[in-house]
Chains A and B, each alone.
Chain A
Amino acid sequence: MTTRAMRLPATTAGRTTRRARLSGGDLSGLGFLAPFLIFYALFLILPLVLDVVMSLFNTSLVLPGFGSFAGLANYRELFGDSRFWQAMWHTILFTLVSTPPLVLLSLFFAIAVNRISRGQWFFRLAFFLPYILPSAVIALIWTWLYEPGYGLIDGFFHLLGLGPPGWLSSPSLALYSIVIVTVWWTIGFNFILYLAGLQEIPREVYEASSIDGASRWRQTWRLTLPMLGRTTTLVVVLQVIASLKIFDQIYLITAGGPNYATRSAIEFIYDTGFTSQRVGYASAASLVLFVVILVVSFVWLALVQRQERV
């Protein structure tokens, strides 16, 4: 009770000070922020506002203005549109399937590489190198790897006497083929984050535990993993958000096929807005995806805050 009573006047005082100072130094501060703020307003806030507005109209890409007022008709159509929900499900499925290997494998490789004392640079480079390639390049590489008849992977399966699995032509397999591509392509980023996390763990902790007689395995399990906790949270949050935004590699490798089995939510938005020219409808779809990503981000934020309080 006393603390609350004490705090109240302090905050009011603080607020008044801030208001009073606004005429002076804050202007130059705004000036410094301006290059960022202008771009932020122009390329993030304004598009978001326009997105909300356009989602309420039958806006067309090729007609001037917002078009006729649609009210909530776009949203009503969207909630009954199986094509949209199918695409949303692909995005979620991709996130569910791609996140575990991208987190666990990068952790595994980081711990393994961190133990290598000689030539560590080579392994660091090897795991990180694919990440710097543009999506168009990895799409080309993997399309050829998967190509039946010529592809390296396909040839390998052939050698083992397994029939061609139809990596990109089987509706039940294509999304997993894309997951494999993505793991190979982007694992380097998580790998580097984990490697940095590992190098922050002080040596003394390991020394102390060895003196106490802890085995290597026990050290990894009871020391390394818990001390990487915050890195893991960061990696998982970044990974989930990145996976929810899946588009490039799918668009380039399968264009959403076969038979839309790999079309993600963003590709649905792209197709609706830019092929069907229905920008209003596409805006409604992108707003729904935005809300989903926002909810996921908030849930993670809450989890992180709870973790930090502990």
Chain B
Amino acid sequence: MDNDARSREPRHRRGWGLVLGVALVSALAAAGATALLVNIFEHKQEARNPFYRVVEIDDQTEDPAVWGKNFPMQYDQYKKTVDQVRTRYGGSEALPRTPDEADPRSIVAQSRLEEDPRLKTMWAGYAFAADFREERGHAYMLEDQTFTQRQVVKQQPGTCMHCHASVYLPYKKLGNGDLMAGFEKMNQMPYQEARKLVTHPVACIDCHDPETMQLRVTRPGFIEGIRTLKAAQGVENFDVNTMATRQEMRAYVCGQCHVEYYFKGPEKRLTYPWHKGLKVDEILAYYDEEGFKDWEHAETGAPALKAQHPEFEMWNQGIHARSGVACADCHMPYTRVGSLKISDHHVRSPVLNINNACQTCHKWPEEELRARIHTIQDRTFAMRNLAMDALVALINDLKIARQAAAPVEQIARAQDFQRKAQFYLDFIEAENSMGFHADQEAVRILAQSIDFARQGQMALRGVPGLPTVQTVSAPPPAQRTTPEVGGVAPGREGGAAPGAAPGRTGG
């Protein structure tokens, strides 16, 4: 009996011990599993967009005001692009005008053609010589394009709509869901017909995915253009929306429109000329290969090219691009609104917002930064004026030469020089940073333009463009046997007869 009791006791204690042990282990396991579950739940919550969903937005929501209900701060900033502010070389002032039937606008920007009449000479025979105004904000892009005189003097194609309106949904509607098909159809419509299919200037849906707010490219021109450029760099089948990095996207969404372009072929297909690269030399080489010209110059007959706002191309040549700074970093810098940090959707000149745009990285006083910006722009502008004068001089010479029936080869050579000089100058004239995006490159391009224009003038005078005669070098000092007389060294012009050995004359 005792034995039984004694043997039962330890078994009893062992039993309880086992129960407790198992309980402890399973308690720990349960706690661990719950901690994991909570962790997973937290991560899933983080992945949802942290904003108050007032309305549902999807890929059919075109109106930025609807997006603005979910993102009121960004929408308020976006509307501010109606502000017209001058900077030293950019922006514009709001000029009143009397609306008429053709053009209901009561405010416009000032005419650049009136500010600098040389532009009319440069673009003689092209629509830009009829009307060209200072730039203003994104809010005006559709209105200004619709009512510019350039629509009156020439029938423009619907291709123009690609950049100046929110075309993402219109393209898809036109192409029955196919963006590319809609793009191709609209290109071949007259502008006024295409105009009826669009409602807004650039809107939220053109850059943002409505589900995730991630940046995306919606413009067929850029999708094809960047694929062409990457192919030229050795990367095949580049699909920008899946392969670009987040920081690259902050430049690509702007590069959808702020580029040089042309309308290719009878289909007027919007094409970015990046088949050989982004530099102006490479773009010109492409146009030369294609035998493309925008128009024949009315006064000289030169096959002229028009450059349009190549900000993306120029920015790519500069130090900021090389340092990984994208368009949005300066033109839509992060700004604090209340308790939130958001990208500033008031897209404008960073000169008007130096603190947010520049001082995050460049920690120097605003005055110093502004002075630096203006130094760069003043120098570029001075070179631009030189190039403008050189071009006008060439155009005038060509006019005279044609009237005087100069030799055909001379005229052709001079016309080619005008094509080059004009395109290079226009590349900087049409670019909206006055050199800031890539200051050395801008001055290089203008210097080349001046050189082309002067070479063109020399060609008309029968002087070869490039020197074919080796420049005569000064005689080495050892061979001088007589001292300089009258300030003229022996062997130089004015002292020696041609061909005389240096040092033998004079004295």
Q: Do A and B bind each other?
A: no
Chain A residues within 8 Å of B, Cβ to Cβ: none
Chain B residues within 8 Å of A, Cβ to Cβ: none
